[in-house]
Chain A
Amino acid sequence: MSLVDRLKKAIGLSPFHDPLVADLQKALSPDRVLEDYEERLLHSKDESVFEGGLAGPVCFPLTTEEVQSIMKIAQRHDRDVIPRGAGSGLAGGAIPLGAPVVVALTKMNNIIEVDIENRIAWVEPGVINLELSDHLRPMGFHYAPDPSSQQICTIGGNVANNSGGPHCLADGVTDTHVLAIEVVLPDGEVTQFGGLDPEPDGLDLRGAFIGSEGTLGIATKIAVRLTANPEAVKTILISFPTMRAAAETVSAVIAGGIVPAAMEAMDQRTIEVIENHVPAGYPKDAGAVLLVEVEGLPDGIEIDAERICEIAEKHQAEDIRIAQNSWQRDALWKGRKSAFGASTYISPNYYLHDTVVPRSALADVLDQVNAIASENDLTIMNVFHAGDGNLHPLLLFDAEEEGTLERVHAVGAEIVRISLEAGGVLSGEHGIGIEKQQFMNDLFSDEDLNHQNRLRFAFDPLCRINPGKVLPQGHSCADIQTLQKPPEGVWV
């Protein structure tokens, strides 16, 4: 043992002998089972503001068989397991509770096979979303879901959260684009959910698994659908005097029977922040902008674009810009995709919310959300997937200011309440994790939650995988058995 390790052990930052680690290192290799305090701390966080426990040993498997071994060893040692991708989640879904074994899937990052005849690709869970699309594009295809974090988030993480993205409006979210999943179950059994055929036999366990936030097993191979690159794309930036006018345009476009590929909204403050720090050519004096994209065959998208512009003009559109080339298109999208990052130029911290409301309620809900933020003296940016009613209020704050985080959480709770009252739901993309467990009773009855727990229980009867997430107290596995604590004297 090195001097550093001996010192760490002396001050309690390094584990005492834990037979679990020895078994894991034997099954993988010592360099892929990390037990340093720093590694465990690093793998105890995600991109959210939430705190959990301190991770147990961090494993980096390379194969399905190694994931199997981890599951079996953890079970033998009576320990929980938490799967993890890039850790880019915003709801605390990848934050360990207790001291579970972390299964970091980032080294399982191979695109195994691109099968053009079946229009699918088999990938490992650690493949980065954008890298998959970049790989497919020269072949005439792409992977449709494009979360804002697509430069870092993994396909495995996307499966866990049923991730969306701006271009999911017409094509659907992850669930529509994942056909089959190889899964290691909590007892180490390997199975496949779904299939490459259109109507696989049996229950749709694939559908139940996607969006289950890593609580039902660990995905080790994923078959994703290849989406053909469109022959033509038209990207339109429309500015409005108010967000209400922009929101009403969104409703009118949908009511007009047009489903664009993407329809994103940004408010005045967002435009200002983008233009001041990552200029994208947005009109700085606009009260709001819509970034609309239509894609398909050249003649059809001309018709759709023309109708969208007509509808916008009837709703006070002030300026309509159509990207004339791919460079201009990329610039318009760069602004949208840089919005969250740009907020750090004006505030040290942000808390990104995520709710969904009926599209026709967008304008009223946004008015209420802005009023609540204002009453609580918080700066807010609104940049969101307007086409599917998916709000993303971004609350800006300085965590160093005493009491601010409490106000942020209070406003967050109000945003949830307003969204539910409008007929919406708790989350459109980020999931429940630990962020919104306490609101699940507001959306579902006790009986509904009881049935959700039955589903969870059927996959993981011992509640070993990512315990304590999604379901609220009173309905979760955590209430059936307390979260697995590490053995006495270990990981303290």
Chain B
Amino acid sequence: MASVIDHALEEFAAEVGPVGPIAIQGGKTRWDANGVPIPEARLLSAPTGIVTYKPEEMIVTARAGTTVEDLHTHLKEHGQRTGLPDRGGTIGGAIAVGENDLNVLGKGRVRDAVLQIRYISADGEIISSGAPVVKNVSGFNLHKLLVGSFGTLGLIAEVTLRTNPVPAETMWLTAAITDPIKIFDSLYKPAAILWDGRTIWVQLEGHKPDVEKQQETLSQIGNFEQVERGPELPQHRWSLPPADLYTISNYKTGRFVASIGVGTVWAEHPQPLRTPDRGKQIIEERLKQQFDPTNRLNPGRKIGNWN
């Protein structure tokens, strides 16, 4: 059925228009990621506000300029949250960057949280992909492409997200441990296991008796003590296959905190640029040509940590 388009989106689309370079500013928490927009680009912000929230459906629709903090504060009143990272910034920014939260094992990946995106195309049109239901295989998944696209294919205007319940109990524990794998293998669905080479931090989530039982399991392995939060994270973010963390000393990370079982590493030094294979690069170039042939959407930003 024809969907009702939010007036705020129409205004945003009119602002974007069909010509001239445009850059979108969110919370600027990851402004330098993958290049900065060229100075000639007109700087715009996406509209704000929660459009609909149906706790009984575990679905929320919000405009992209809404901060993640505002969204999660609102959802928390109903005991829910999303997979978006709690590190400041806007919903649109979080999706355009696509980085998962440090407790991704518990709250899920950003890309799995996104059910629908309405974006402004390079022609200034409002385009919709996906739908506000939790299961959907109706047509091509443009919205999947937009997660982590740094706003280079379309400007994210409104997002519908899957929510999930805030666990009844959450606990951070830490101990001096040199073998994080043993911890990972001993626990059932921990929310996060972070390790800096000497110390491990474990976040447990779930029903109280489950968390307590897992805590007991940990106490049999090491001298764990409860703490308020996980460690401070170094500035740069790496993405490695989880098994590579077993031999992380082979990488020039400097000081690091690694997410065991995930493969994300926060490191003192940046991850070296990688080289995309030819087939993937050709398709990415064709997609850019199809969706933004004049390179007016966030010019200056590139997609991915490519050479």
Taking Cβ atoms with an 8 Å cutoff, the residues of A that contact B are 115, 117-119, 161-162, 164, 168, 172-173, 175-176, 183, 185, 189-193, 195-205, 207-208, 210-212, 228, 230-231, 251-252, 254-255, 257-259, 296-297, 299-300, 303-304, 356-360, 385, 388-390, 420-421, 423-432, 436, 440, 442-445, 447-449, 451-452, 454-459, 461, 470-471
A67 to chain B minimum Cβ distance, whole angstroms, is: 13
Assembly CA distance A255 to B140 (angstroms):
30
Task: In the complex, identify which listed stretch (B24-32, B141-149, B220-228) lies at the interface while the others stay far away.
Answer: B141-149
Given the known interface contacts A199-B98, A259-B165, the answer about A425 and B125 at a Cβ–Cβ threshold of 8 Å is no
What are the residues of chain A within 8 A of B241 when measuring CB–CB? Answer: 118, 195-197
Assembly CA distance A186 to B306 (angstroms):
24
What are the residues of chain A within 8 A of B109 when measuring CB–CB? Answer: 176, 198
Assembly CA distance A117 to B125 (angstroms):
46
Q: What number of B residues sit within 8 Å (CB to CB) of A?
A: 82
Query: Which B residues, 90 to 147, have Cβ-Cβ distances below 8 Å to chain A?
Result: 98-100, 104, 108-109, 111-112, 121, 125-129, 131-142, 144-145, 147
What are the residues of chain B within 8 A of A190 when measuring CB–CB? Answer: 279
Given contacts A196-B263, A200-B304, A259-B58, 13 further A-B contacts (CB under 8 A): A175-B141, A198-B239, A201-B274, A205-B280, A208-B144, A210-B144, A299-B210, A299-B213, A300-B209, A303-B207, A424-B131, A444-B139, A455-B142
- Does B43 count as interface, using CB distance less than 8 angstroms? no
What are the residues of chain B within 8 A of A118 when measuring CB–CB? Answer: 241-243
What are the residues of chain A within 8 A of B7 when measuring CB–CB? Answer: none
Q: Is the CB of A255 within 8 A of B127?
A: no
Q: Is the CB of B128 within 8 A of A444?
A: yes
Assembly CA distance A446 to B275 (angstroms):
37
What are the residues of chain B within 8 A of A254 when measuring CB–CB? Answer: 56-58
Q: Is the CB of A426 within 8 A of B138?
A: yes
Q: Is the CB of B280 within 8 A of A202?
A: yes
Given the known interface contacts A201-B305, A203-B149, the answer about A390 and B290 at a Cβ–Cβ threshold of 8 Å is no
Which of B99, B104, B287 has most chain A Cβ within 10 Å?
B287
Given the known interface contacts A421-B1, A448-B129, the answer about A211 and B141 at a Cβ–Cβ threshold of 8 Å is yes
Of chain A, the residue at the smallest CB distance from B112 is A176
Which of B55, B139, B259, B276 has most chain A Cβ within 10 Å?
B139
A343 to chain B minimum Cβ distance, whole angstroms, is: 23
B262 to chain A minimum Cβ distance, whole angstroms, is: 5
The list of the 6 closest CB pairs from A to B, nearest first, reads A191-B279, A207-B144, A201-B304, A299-B209, A255-B56, A202-B304
Checking B139, B165, B305 against A470 with a beta-carbon cut-off of 8 angstroms, the contacting residue is: B139
Which of A164, A189, A199, A430 has most chain B Cβ within 10 Å?
A199
Q: Is the CB of A197 within 8 A of B188?
A: no
Given the known interface contacts A199-B264, A202-B306, A296-B188, the answer about A115 and B137 at a Cβ–Cβ threshold of 8 Å is no
Assembly CA distance A231 to B137 (angstroms):
31
Of chain A, the residue at the smallest CB distance from B164 is A259
Checking B55, B112, B145 against A255 with a beta-carbon cut-off of 8 angstroms, the contacting residue is: B55
Assembly CA distance A190 to B282 (angstroms):
12
Q: Is the CB of B112 within 8 A of A199?
A: no
What are the residues of chain A within 8 A of B11 when measuring CB–CB? Answer: none
Q: Is the CB of B133 within 8 A of A424?
A: yes
What are the residues of chain B within 8 A of A296 when measuring CB–CB? Answer: 188-189, 206, 210
Given the known interface contacts A204-B144, A421-B1, A454-B290, the answer about A196 and B137 at a Cβ–Cβ threshold of 8 Å is no
Q: Is the CB of A359 within 8 A of B57?
A: yes
Assembly CA distance A175 to B114 (angstroms):
12
Q: Is the CB of A358 within 8 A of B128?
A: no
- Does B255 count as interface, using CB distance less than 8 angstroms? no
Assembly CA distance A252 to B56 (angstroms):
7
Assembly CA distance A333 to B187 (angstroms):
28
Q: Is the CB of A389 within 8 A of B140?
A: no
What are the residues of chain B within 8 A of A461 when measuring CB–CB? Answer: 286
Q: Is the CB of A457 within 8 A of B290?
A: yes
What are the residues of chain A within 8 A of B57 when measuring CB–CB? Answer: 254, 358-360
Assembly CA distance A456 to B286 (angstroms):
11
What are the residues of chain B within 8 A of A424 when measuring CB–CB? Answer: 131, 133
